[in-house]
Structure 1
C-alpha cells in the first residue's frame, strides 16, 4: 500500500560515498552530508528524506546510489523504509547484455540483481526427492499389497539442503535496510567481493611460491609483493613470507617494517643447518625475518651491506627456499631486473604462480611482454608459468600528480589499452587505481583507499586461483 502512494514527485536522489560523505537531492536542491562514517551518513540522509515525506503527508520514492550499485526505496512519513518493487520490462525491449570483459578492475556501480525466489532450486529439488514418487513408480491402485515396490531407498533420500544460506546485504542502502529489519539480498558487487574473500581464504596442501617479475625497474614489483602478501596472510591466516630475491640490494626492506635486528637472507643461509635440524622450533625463524605487525606477514630482506658485493647464487636460492618452505605455507618473491641472473632463474624453478606487475607506461608494458616472451620461449615449466600468469596493471602516478583532467583520462585509457593487450596471452589481468599510499614510504594495507583495497583483493584472488 505504501508503494502505491509514493509518486515520482518530488524527484529524490540519495548518494552514499565510501569517504564518509553523501548527498540528497530533492527536486534539484542538493543537501551535502558529511559524517564520521557510512552509518552516520545514511542516518542523516534518511532524516532528510523522512522530513520531506512528513511535509507531504505520504510516502516518497528515492533513487539510491552507493558504491555497490543503484536501487529504489520507499520512505514513509514515519520513517519506515521498504524496497520498491522492480519495474516490469517488456520482453521486446530487453537488451542483450554486453560480453564480460577479460580484465578485472576496481568495482564500479552495477545494476541491482534480479530478485531470487523465496525457495531455491536446490531446496525444491531436495524436498521433491523426499516426497515425490519416482517417475516409473506404479500408481497406488497397482502397487503391491505391502507397498514395497513403490517405496524408494532411503539411500536416495536426503533432508539436507546443500545450498548455503545467503547472508543478507551488509553494505550501502541494501545493508541499512537489512539492519532495519527488511532483509535484502547482497548486490552483485558485494557477492563478487564475498567470492574473492572465500578464494583468498582457502588453505591449500603444501607450500606455494609466487614470483613477482618484470625486467624493468619502477614497474611496481615491490608494492605488488607487499599487497599480495598482506591480503593472503590476513584472509587465509597462512604463514606468509615476502622474500627479496634481488641479486644484491633490493627495496623490499625499505617499504616494510624493520624488526629488532639487521639480518638478511645471507644470515638465514648461514644458519640453514640449524634451522633445518629436527630440533629446530618454529619461532626460531623470527631471528631472520621482519614481522609486519598489522599485515601479518614476514619479510626476508636482501643483503643491505653497501660495502659488500655478494650476489645470491642458484645454490643459495635452493637453501633459502628449503628453509622457508619448512616454516611458511606461502612465499611471495620480489625479484631483480635480470632474467639471466642465476638466482632469478632458480626462483622460476620453484615458482607455482607467476605475477607480472606493470605501470601504465609503455616501456614498462614492453618490458613485461619481453619477460613473458622469454619464459615462453624456454618451454616446459617456464612457458606454462607465462601462459598462466597474472598481469597487474597500475595506473600511472604522473598523471594523478598533475590533477589535469585530460591527463587523468589518458592515464585510464592507457591502463585499459595495456590491460586489453595482455588479456589474450595470460590467465588474468587486473587493473589497480592510483593510490598515493603506494607511492612513497612504508606500505600498509589499511592506508589504502577502499577502491584500491578492493582492486588488490581481486588481484590476490586471481593469484590464489592458480594455487
Structure 2
C-alpha cells in the first residue's frame, strides 16, 4: 500500500468547500474509472491507492483559472477531426477536462486484496498463450501378432499390452546418457554365467542404442570373453592396449586408432577388449593405476563400458573396477552355489557401507536357467531369494545357443531375446544418475 500526500494549498487546509469538492471528485473518479481510491480515516489530506490503480493520485483541485479563449483561434482550420477534439466549437471547454475527464484505462479486478510482486509476475506468466505445436507422440500401430497382421493389410490396430511393454523396454535401452557409463558384471564363483551376461547386455545396448559400446574382459585368470565373441583382424588384448594409453589420451588421438586393440562384433555392433587367457595371471597383472588408465581410455572412446570380472574379489583390478562402477549386475544361474556366492557378495558390499552399499542396493540380479530340464519354479525360487537384496531381479530361460561357442543375439529364441531385453531395460534404469567421477 502506497500513501500519497498532496501538495499543500491554502484552499485544501482552510476552505471546507474545496475539501468537499475533493471528496466528491474522489468518489466520482472511483465510480467512473473502476479504481478504489479512498481517504484514510481521520486524515483529510491523505490518499491510499488500492491495487489496480496505475496513475498518480491528484493533490487538490487547482483554482479556477481566469481563461478566455481567443475568438480568432476558432477561425483557424483544424487538421484533425473537430468532433474528436475537446475544444471543438459548440462545446463549453474547460482546460481541466484534459486531466480530470480523461477516460481511465480498464484495470484488472484483484478482489481488492494487495498482491506481492511475485504474485503479479505469476499472474502475467499464467496468461501465456498455448503453443500451436503438437507435443503428443505419434501413435504407431501394432506390429506383432494378429494385431500386427491386421495392421499390415490396412486395418490400423492398436498394439497389445505386451507389445507396449516391449516398446518401453526398447526405449529404455536406446537412451544415451550425458557422459560415459560403466556396468560391472560380478560373481565370486566361476561358471556363474558372467561372460554370457556381459555379451548379451552389450548386444542389446549396442543393437538398440547404437555404439560405441565396449565389452571388457577384466579377468586375470583365463578370461573367456574373447573365446565367446567374434575376433577382429588381429589378436590384440588388454596387455597390448596398456602401453598405448598415453598416446590414445592425447588431444590429437583419433578414435579409429582404437580398432588396433579391440574386436568389433559385426552382427551385434559392440567392441570387445580381450584378456590374454593363454598366459599366467602373474604375467598380466594390472595394478590400480593401470586400470585407471585403461578405464580413462574406455570412457573417452565409448559411451557404455560393460566389464566382465574375474573371481578374485581381492585383486587390485577387481577393487578398482568397483570404484568406477555406475551400475552393478550380479550374474547367477539356478545352481545353488552360484546363487549363494552372488548373495554373499551383495551382503559383503552392504556391510562395507558408503558407495559399496549404494551399489549393492541398486544392483540388478540376472538369473539364468542353466539346466535344460530345469523348471520355472527353480528360477522363481532363486529370484525370490534375491528380491530383498537388490533393486531388480530378471530371469532368463534356458537357451542352447548360450551354452557354448560364440554368442550371437540373433541366434537366440524369441523368448530368450525378449528376456534379455527386459533384463537390459532394468539395468538401464540405474544409468540415469550422473556418472561416477574418479
TM-score by length of 2: 0.68
TM-aligned CA deviation for residue 303 of structure 1? 2.1
Partner of residue 341 from structure 1, selected from 307, 315, 338 = 315
* Correspondence for 1:273 among 239, 242, 246: 246
8 Å contact 2:220–2:281 — kept in the other structure? no
Instruction: Please point out which of 179, 188, 194 is paired with 2:167.
Output: 194
Name the structure 2 match of 1:370.
344
| Structure-to-structure mapping, 1:156-167, within 5 angstroms | 156-167=129-140
Say what the alpha-carbon RMSD is for the aligned residues: 2.1
Count of residues paired in the alignment: 313
Structure 1: how far apart are the matches of 2:236 and 2:370? Answer: 34
Residue 284 (structure 1) aligned with residue 257 (structure 2) = yes
- Per-residue deviation, residues 327-366 of structure 1 (Å, max 9, x unmatched): 1111100011111111111100000000001101111100
Go from structure 1 to structure 2 and tell me whether the alpha carbon gap of 1:435 and 1:284 turns closer, same or farther (over 3 Å shift): same
CA gap 1:308/1:414 in 2 versus in 1, 3 angstroms: closer
Gaps of 5+ in 1: 1-145, 401-406
| Aligned-residue offset at 1:417 | 0.6
Q: Which runs of 5+ in 2 are unaligned?
A: 1-104, 110-123, 432-438
What is residue 214 of structure 2 aligned with on the other side? 241
State whether structure 2 residue 387 is matched by structure 1 residue 414: no
Match of 1:175 among 144, 148, 155: 148
Alignment match of 1:386 (pick from 336, 360, 380): 360
Instruction: Provide the C-alpha distance between the structure 2 equivalents of 1:226 and 1:305, rounded to a whole number of angstroms.
Output: 21
Matches within 5 A, 1:220-369: 220-306=193-279, 309-310=282-283, 311-369=285-343
Contact preservation (8 Å) 2:224, 2:277: no
Which structure's residues are more often strand, by fraction?
Answer: 1
C-alpha distance after superposition, 1:71-111 (max 9, x if no partner):
xxxxxxxxxxxxxxxxxxxxxxxxxxxxxxxxxxxxxxxxx
SS in 1 for 2:387: helix
The alpha-carbon deviation at position 165 of structure 1 amounts to: 2.7
Q: Is the 8 A contact 1:356 1:392 kept in 2?
A: yes
Q: Which residue of 1 aligns with 2:405?
A: 441
Alignment counterpart, residue 455 of structure 1, candidates 391, 415, 419: 419
Cα distance in 2 for residues equivalent to 1:308 and 1:187: 52
SS of aligned partner of 2:319: helix
Structure 1 CA distance for aligned equivalents of residues 288 and 351 of structure 2:
21
* 1:149 Cα offset (Å): 6.7
Which segment is superposed worse, 419-428 or 157-166? Answer: 157-166
**Conserved 8 A contact 1:242-1:333:** yes
TM-score, with structure 1 as normaliser: 0.64
Counterparts of 1:348 and 1:210 in 2: how far apart (Å)? Answer: 9
The whole-number CA distance in structure 2 between the counterparts of 1:199 and 1:308 is 38
Distance, in Å, in 1 between the alignment partners of 2:385 and 2:139 is 37
Secondary structure (helix, strand or coil) at the match of 1:252 reads coil
Return the alpha-carbon distance in structure 2 between the equivalents of residues 281 and 304 of structure 1: 29
Is the 2:364–2:392 contact (alpha carbons within 8 Å) kept by the matching residues of 1? Answer: yes
Counterpart-to-counterpart distance in 2, 1:445 and 1:332: 16
